[in-house]
Amino acid sequence: MGNCCTGSAKCANASTPFESKVTSRSTASNNSNSTTTANKLASRRSIGSSSALSGQIAGSDVQVQAASAGTGAGAGLKSFSMSELRAATKNFGSTSYLGEGGFGCVYKGWIDEATLAPTRPGVGRMVAIKKLKEESFQGHREWLAEVTYLGQLHHANLVTLVGYCSDSGANKLLVYEYVLRGSLENHLFRRATQPLSWPMRVSIAIDVARGLAFLHSRDDSPVIFRDLKSSNVLLDSDYRAKLSDFGLARNGPTGDKSHVSTRVVGTRGYAAPEYIVTGHLSTKSDVYSFGVVLLELMTGRRAVDDARGGSAATLVDWAYPQLGDRRKVIRIMDTRLGGQYPKKQAQEVAALALRCLQNDPKNRPAMADAVLPELEQLQQHNSHKSSSYTSSTPAPVHGQPGRRHSKSKS
């Protein structure tokens, strides 16, 4: 990802394969079938993976060059040497350390704005450098995916990849723009942080929707992000959201195909039920994950919190029964908001989340044609009115948590 906050366990790529116990909202019979199928998928995940990856892992710098020649991927990226990145991070010292995740450790570094050469701390441009663990076999595939996709995809709501390093040894690194305010996950769930206001949460949802709409609407082939979650949404200095961690992204279906079939990977609590059960992946899989992130923004609760126990442990199972009843939506709203949100707007966002979370992917709205326009219209409608919050609060001011948009009324 573009950067991470100190101490976060999900600073780097924390995506994990699904466990067979993960189920969707369905009948007991369907749950049993889902578990059986998921078990079969889990048992197949590692079969043949060694031979499939052997060509990727050997000489991945050559693969980056080949991708660049064929698709433009990596054409604008700098190939850093290991010595350059050591200089940029003070030899990956403790003062440069930002955090660690499944992919490896993340460090902050400094490079020259123009030449991208390493500089001393405080001079030039700060970057986030993600270093692959040497023992991480799956990480090689994800490293290459990041270079391939972020080398050719450029959008205001996607994190910027500056360059990469792939030396003759086992060193594999990625160099990103430094995204100042860290992950949405930290802002929603760390109690020491100032709560994001409702207008800011809506703005973040719109930014995420714009990023996904861009990926899904590519003319040659849609890109499925496949690992949307709050820890993979980064916030810049103006609290503008950017999608990060493209290690699990892949090309979507083309022509008259409705899906692609692939191994089941991702993060528990965010993935679409049909993907968990069958391995069928489509842009509508991302829409489901977006619905989960919408719920996190509304409720301030994690997608999965085993400490809560029972149905309350999974956010979708806990919130879903309330989403269809406009009178009950207030029951699931984040108490840290202090009631400071337009009730009607919250109900509209809940209704949209409900549609995104439908079990049948055919019933979920498309990101570019429905989700994004609806959110933008909702924001625009409320920006032309003064707020009807349930208590009086100073109007949000741009550039601070919860202060990005003018105060609005439903």
Which positions are annotated as active-site residues?
227
Q: Is residue 133 part of an annotated ligand binding site?
A: no
Cα–Cα distance, 296 to 400 (Å, whole number): 20
CA angle 88, 89, 95 (to 5 degrees): 145
What is the Cα 141 distance to its own chain's centre? 18
What is the helix (H) or strand (E) element at residue 235, kind and residue range? strand 233-235
Nearest to 157 by CA among 232, 106, 262: 232
Nearest to 184 by CA among 224, 216, 228, 147: 228
CA angle 1, 337, 345 (to 5 degrees): 90
Cα–Cα distance, 349 to 356 (Å, whole number): 11
Nearest to 364 by CA among 292, 314, 300, 311: 292
Token pair in block for residue 190:
């760390």
What length is written for the chain?
410
Q: 300 phi and psi, to 5 degrees? A: 70, 15
Nearest to 259 by CA among 295, 288, 293, 228: 288
Binding site as annotated, residues for ATP: 131
| Annotated binding-site positions | 131
